[in-house]
Structure 1
Amino acid sequence: MTAAIPKHKRDLIRSDYLGARIHPEILAKKLELDRTTINNYRRCFKTIEREYPDKLHDYSFCLMPHSLDRNRHEINREAQLVTLFPEIMDSVSYKKGISLKPLYAIYKSKCPNGYAFKPFVQHLFQWRKDNNICNYHHLRIKHIHPNDLVTLTNWKKGTTVASKFRKAVIILGSYNGKHIKHLAAQIESKVQTVLEWMEIYRTSGIEALERKVTTVNHTILESRKVRQDNLIKLVHQSPKLYQLNRTSWRLRDLSNVYQRLYGEYICISAIKDNLHRAGYGFRRSRQTLTSPDPKFRQKMDFIKNILGNLRNDEKFFSIDEYGHFSVKLKGGRSLSRKGENKVVPQLQKSKGFMVVTAAIELSTNQITHFYSRKKDTEEMIKLIDLLIIQYPHQRTLYLSWDAAAWHNSKLLKARLEQLNDIEYRTIHNNPEIKLAPLPSCAQFLNVIESIFSGLAKAVIHNSDYQSLEDCQSAIDMYFRERNEYFLANPKHAGKVIWGKEKVKTVFKETNHCAAKK
C-alpha cells in the first residue's frame, strides 16, 4: 500500500471508512480512482483500527506496509505471544481437549491489542508442533508426591500386575510431559482410558488406582435377561401380528412394539446390543428366525398351557428327525496345534446313510430313538407305537413336532383316530394321543434340536467311523449315557454336564437351535 494518491482523496476514503461506508464502486467513480485502490486503503484503515486504534482519527498518520515500525511491532507481538502460551495453556479449566476460542479469549484479556483469531491459531499450532504439546496438555499430571513416585516406579519395573504397570507408565509419562496420544499407543489403550486414569490420580490419589473388586447387582442382571428374552420372543414372531406391513423386523419397529407390549422404552442401540449378545444379527441366509404362522401366539399359548398343567400321568414329547447324513470322514472344530489344519476331502465314498428319529420327554428328559433310511408317515407311526409300548400306564401322550408334510398326512391322522377310539383303548389299554404342533417355520422352537446339536458335536463332527454299525453304536451310547444321567439327576438338564448342547432342553420361546450335520 502506498500514499501515491493525493492526500485529500486519502482523507475522503478515511472519512468514508469512519462514517458513511459508501459502496466501493460508487466511491471510486466519485474520486476518479480504481475500485481496487479504494479497497486497498480501506484494508489499510482496518489494520490501523486493529493495530493502532488511537491513530485511526489522526489524518496525519499513514500506515506503510513495509515500514520498520510495523515490522518491529509485529516481532514484539509474536515474542509476547510465545511467552504467554504456557501461561494460557495452564489456565484452562475444562476437562476435555483444548478448545481454541476459550484460549483466544484468555489471550485477548491479557493483550487487548494482540493478534486476531486466525493468526493466533496459526502461531498456537506452530508452537504446539515445535514443543510437542498435545491437545490434552492442560490435563497432565503436574505434581506427584515423593511416596507415590517410589510406588509408581516399582509398578513400572514390572514387579506387579500388568494393569499397575500400564497405569504407572501413564502417570509418570504425563508428569514428564510426554504426548498423551503417544502414551496411549505405548500401552495399546484408548486416549479416554488414559485421561480417566489421570483424573482418578489427580482427584483421589494413588489408592484409587488400585484394582477394586466390583460387586454384581443381580437385580439389574435379571432385568437385562428378561428384556433380552422378551426381545427374542418378538423376533420369533412375524411383524404382521402387530399390525406392521412388513415381512421382517426393523430395530425401530422392535422398539415401538416392545414399548407397546411391556410399557418400557428401549432404544435402538440397546436392542442391537441385546440381540448381538444372544447371537442374532442381520444376515443374508435362507434360514429365518421368524415364523410367518398367523396362529403363532395361539399355538404357543396352547403348548405352554399344556406344559404348565402337565399331570404325573401325562407326558409331553418333542419329536424330530436328524438326517439324512452319510457315514464318512467329517470335519469340525477340534483342539489342534497352531498351523495344523485338519483336511477333509470334498469327494468321499459313503459307508452308508441313515436318519435318526427321536423324541424327548420334557418332564423326565428321556430320549427314545431308532434308525431308518427315510422320513415319512410310516416312521412317525412306528415312533408313536414305540412310545405307547414304552409308556403304557400314562393317561395322555402329547406329541409336538414341526409342520413337515409327513406329520400331517391322512394315514397318520387315521392311525391316531384308531388309537384314540374308546373301544380300541379299552381293549388295548393304551394312552390317549394328542397333538400340540409347533407354528409353521418354527423349527428353532423344537426342543429336540438342542439334543441333536449336542449329538452332532459329541459323536458326529470330526468322526471317521468304519461302518454304519459303528456310527449307530456311538449314537446309542450317547443317548444311553444321557438318559442315565438325567434319571439320576432329574433337576438338571442341558449344559450342566453335556455342555455341547447349545441351549437347555426346555420349551422356551427364546430358544434357537438347529443341529448341523
Structure 2
Amino acid sequence: MRRGRRAQVVKLSKKEREALEALVRQSTAAQRDVVRAKIALMADEGLTTAAIAASLGLSLPSVSKWRSRVASQGMAGLREVQRPGRPRRIADAQRLQLLALACEPAEGLGRATPTLNELCERAVQRGVVPHISRSHLQRILQAGDVRPHRVRQWLHSPDPQFREKVNAICELYRQQPLGSVVLSIDEKTGIQAIERKHADRAPQPGRARRREFEYIRHGTQALTAALDVHSGRVLGRCTDRRTQDDLVAFMEEVACAYPQGTVHVIWDNLNTHRAQAVWADFNSRHGERFVFHFTPLHASWVNQIELLFGIYSRRVLRHASHTSTQHLRQRTEAFIAQRNVSPKPFKWTFAGFELQTGEPRRFTRHAHTPRPSKRR
C-alpha cells in the first residue's frame, strides 16, 4: 500500500497562537486570513492534513501549501507574497505627482475642477508621465481616495467669541435653569403659496408620480415660531411681512404664554433681534424677565428652531399645492397644533467645545431638570 508524503509538523509559540486565535475572533478580519489562521491552529493541535481539509471544506493541496509555509516560516508564512506580473509602468513617485496635480487649486477662469482628459494632457505637458489614458488616471485617483470633482461647502464664523457663545447656549439646552424656560425663536420668511396649475398624475407600478411644471403664485407668508426647548411646545404666528412690529407682537404672545419666571430667548443676529431700544422697552414692560442669547455669526445650526423648520418644510411645503395664502396659513397652524398635541423636545447631544485647559465640558443633571426624549 502506497503512502503519501508525511505532513510537516507545526509548532507555534504561545504568543503566535494567541495572535492567531485573536485573528479568528475578529469579525472584521478578511476571510482568507481567518482560514489560514485556522489551518495553522489545527495543525499545531496535531490534526492531519486530511482532517483539516474535511473540517474546513478545503482541498488537500491548499491545506498542505499553508501548512508547509507555517512549518518553515512561522506566522510570516501566512502572509500573501507578491505575485509575478507585469511591472508597474507608472512608479509610486509619479502616482503621487498625479494625485497632487488633481488636487491643485481651482483655475482663475471660474472652473472648479478640470476633467480627466484635461488632467491627462497636463500630466504629459509637465513631464510627469510620457503617456496616460483616462481610465488609468481614474484608477490611480480611486486608489488614492481622491475625488477632485466633489466639493463640500462650509462657512467660517468670524465671531471671536464663537466657542463661549456656543457653550453657553448648549448649557441652556442640556440643563434647564430652575424656574426658567428656554425658547428658541426665529423667522422663516418668503414661504410661497404655490398652487399647481394642473392636477398630479398618481403613481403606478414602475412609474413615479408625475407633476406638471407650471404653477400659480398666490403670495408669501412669514412664519415666526418659538420652540420650548425642554418641553417641545411650539408657538407660531403667520404674517404677510416680517417687520419689527410683527416680531414685537409675537413676543407679546410669548409673554402671555409664559407670564411668570425668567424666559431665556435664543435667536440669531438679525437686525430686528438686535434693536436694543425696542427690546429694552419690551423687557421693562415685563419686569426684566427676558434674557436674550445671540448665536454666533454663521452658526444657525446652534438654534434648535431650525430643526423644526426643516420638519415643517418636509411635511407641509414639499410637493404641496396651496390655493391661497390663507390655505397655507391654515395648514401651517394645523401642523403646529398637531405638534402640540403630544410635544416632544429634540435630543440635543452636543455638549459644547472643550475648555482652554483641554478638558471636555461635563454637565451634571439636577433632579429638577427634565430629561429630553428622543427626537420625533
Q: Can you list the C-alpha shifts for 1:397-422, whole angstroms capped at 9, x where unaligned?
A: 1111111222112xxx223222333x
Distance in 2 of aligned mates of 1:435 and 1:340: 48
- What does residue range 185-196 of structure 1 map to in structure 2 within 5 Å? 195-196=32-33
Cα distance 1:445–1:508, how it changes in 2: closer, same or farther (>3 A)? farther
1:352 aligns with 2:219: yes
Could you tell me which residue of structure 1 aligns to residue 277 of structure 2? 414
Distance in 1 of aligned mates of 2:215 and 2:221: 16
Could you tell me which residue of structure 2 aligns to residue 364 of structure 1? 231
Report the CA distance between 1:310 and its aligned residue: 3.3
Distance in 2 of aligned mates of 1:397 and 1:480: 22
1:311 aligns with 2:177: yes
Report the CA distance between 1:442 and its aligned residue: 0.4
SS in 1 for 2:294: coil
Relative to structure 2, which stretch is displaced further, 298-307 or 460-469? 298-307
Q: 2:193·2:220 contact (CA, 8 Å) conserved in 1?
A: yes
Relative to structure 2, which stretch is displaced further, 463-472 or 315-324? 463-472
Could you tell me which residue of structure 1 aligns to residue 158 of structure 2? 292
Q: TM-score, normalised by structure 2?
A: 0.50
Q: Can you list the C-alpha shifts for 1:288-343, whole angstroms capped at 9, x where unaligned?
A: 3542211101212332444565334211111111231211158xxx9875443534
Distance in 1 of aligned mates of 2:340 and 2:54: 57
Report the CA distance between 1:207 and its aligned residue: 7.4
Could you tell me which residue of structure 1 aligns to residue 255 of structure 2? 388
Q: 2:171·2:351 contact (CA, 8 Å) conserved in 1?
A: no
Distance in 2 of aligned mates of 1:307 and 1:402: 16
Q: 1:358·1:367 contact (CA, 8 Å) conserved in 2?
A: yes
Could you tell me which residue of structure 1 aligns to residue 311 of structure 2? 454
SS in 2 for 1:371: strand
Tell me which amino acid in the other structure corresponds to 1:374.
R
Cα distance 1:313–1:469, how it changes in 2: closer, same or farther (>3 A)? same
Could you tell me which residue of structure 1 aligns to residue 66 of structure 2? none
Distance in 1 of aligned mates of 2:170 and 2:31: 52
1:480 aligns with 2:346: no
Aligned-residue identity in percent: 18
Q: Which runs of 5+ in 2 are unaligned?
A: 1-7, 11-28, 43-51, 58-144, 197-201, 354-376
Could you tell me which residue of structure 2 aligns to residue 132 of structure 1? none
Distance in 2 of aligned mates of 1:335 and 1:445: 39
Could you tell me which residue of structure 2 aligns to residue 379 of structure 1? 246
Flag the structure with larger Rg. Answer: 1
1:403 aligns with 2:269: yes
- What does residue range 267-278 of structure 1 map to in structure 2 within 5 Å? none
Q: 1:447·1:506 contact (CA, 8 Å) conserved in 2?
A: no
Q: Can you list the C-alpha shifts for 1:360-405, whole angstroms capped at 9, x where unaligned?
A: 0112111111011222322221221111111112x21111111122
- What does residue range 143-292 of structure 1 map to in structure 2 within 5 Å? 195-196=32-33, 199=36, 202=39, 283-285=151-153, 288-292=154-158
Distance in 1 of aligned mates of 2:207 and 2:30: 35
Which structure features the higher share of strand residues?
2
Tell me which amino acid in the other structure corresponds to 2:176.
L
Tell me which amino acid in the other structure corresponds to 2:256.
I
Q: 2:174·2:348 contact (CA, 8 Å) conserved in 1?
A: no
Distance in 1 of aligned mates of 2:267 and 2:187: 10
Q: Which has the higher contact order (CA 8 A, sep 6+)?
A: 2
Q: 1:200·1:208 contact (CA, 8 Å) conserved in 2?
A: no
Could you tell me which residue of structure 1 aligns to residue 208 of structure 2? 340
Tell me which amino acid in the other structure corresponds to 1:481.
Q
Distance in 1 of aligned mates of 2:229 and 2:156: 24
SS in 1 for 2:311: helix
- What does residue range 314-329 of structure 1 map to in structure 2 within 5 Å? 314-329=180-195
Q: 2:195·2:216 contact (CA, 8 Å) conserved in 1?
A: no
Tell me which amino acid in the other structure corresponds to 1:371.
C
1:302 aligns with 2:168: yes
Could you tell me which residue of structure 2 aligns to residue 444 of structure 1? 301
Cα distance 1:493–1:199, how it changes in 2: closer, same or farther (>3 A)? farther
Cα distance 1:344–1:431, how it changes in 2: closer, same or farther (>3 A)? farther
Cα distance 1:505–1:340, how it changes in 2: closer, same or farther (>3 A)? same
Distance in 2 of aligned mates of 1:367 and 1:480: 8
Distance in 2 of aligned mates of 1:206 and 1:314: 72
Q: Which runs of 5+ in 1 are unaligned?
A: 1-90, 94-191, 210-272, 274-280, 487-491, 495-503, 511-517
Q: 2:166·2:302 contact (CA, 8 Å) conserved in 1?
A: no
Q: 1:318·1:362 contact (CA, 8 Å) conserved in 2?
A: yes
Cα distance 1:199–1:442, how it changes in 2: closer, same or farther (>3 A)? same
Cα distance 1:509–1:206, how it changes in 2: closer, same or farther (>3 A)? farther
Distance in 2 of aligned mates of 1:194 and 1:306: 50
Alignment root-mean-square deviation, CA:
3.7
Tell me which amino acid in the other structure corresponds to 1:401.
W
